[in-house]
Structure 1
Amino acid sequence: MWLVWVALLVGLLLLALTLYRRYGRRLTERQIIASQQVVNAGMTVALQELANDLLLFAMERPTSTLVANIWGHEVMAFEFELPYRERQEVVVVRQALNNALRDYAQDENLVSASETDMALVVTDVWYDNRKPMLHVDVAHIVNEETAAYLRDLRKLNQPV
């Protein structure tokens, strides 16, 4: 009889764990989508202001992909691929985009989960040598996991 109770208890625990993981995954997916929409909107505004200065081709609505799956769940960092006309120094591009994203975050009252970083931060900028694309990674510092991701990048001597 006790074997039946143990099997029933194990079954209930597995069911509870499955439901918990499904709910958690859906919540994370919703957070990622919401964060991605914020980042896309910020980059849209920034690129409308800066496309000519940075020698980029105009894009009506830039889209991004999640880049931080390897760093763990709930890291809100996204990559944009932007066609360019002529290369600029990556330091210039990074600074201009960070300034525009800072202004956007202030205008939209976006709050950062980090005491030292603004809500939207360009974490990486690089040019693709195979095709004329500028890659820009942007983090939305909306939770501690993303703030920790930035700290990890700094430890790896990545300019953030």
Structure 2
Amino acid sequence: MRMSLTLLSMNAVVIRLREIVAKDITAERPRIDAVFYLLDAMWLFWGESLEEIREITFEIGMLGQYGLDINDPKETHVLRALPGRTLSALQLVCIMYAGFKRIEPGMDIGVDLGEEWGMVLDSLGHFAASADPVALEGAEDGPEAAFLRLEAALQGLVVSSIDYFRKTY
């Protein structure tokens, strides 16, 4: 089932979501769990059309109108657009954030995951410069080599996260 929401009606949803989520996302910064959820969202959107990304993103926006407790990992949700996956509220917000980075990059959705998004992009290097891992498909030495570089970047992200926790705690 396709959701038929215009960008204008989505703005109303985003305003409501901003009120609900923005105050909670400002917990300890950066949120390493959000970094990994954003990375997962990039994988989720790998090879998806903008329409498919829009469908997932808007469904989360509609769900978010009723409140999402991003600090409670036990609160779970299932999306019609992603059957078979059970997602926490923070995962949903991260998927929506990454989705808007693809479908409407300049839109302020009122959830500040900029630092976490920056960590993901920095870890992925020049392939993520477009905020779209599909850029790997255009790699000169082919997608297989590009995937290996992406895998190495992901390993670097894990190592840097472990280092961050060691220094912080």
TM-score normalised to structure 2 length: 0.25
Q: Which has the higher helix share?
A: 2
Q: Which has the higher strand share?
A: 1
- Larger Rg, first or second structure (1 or 2): 1
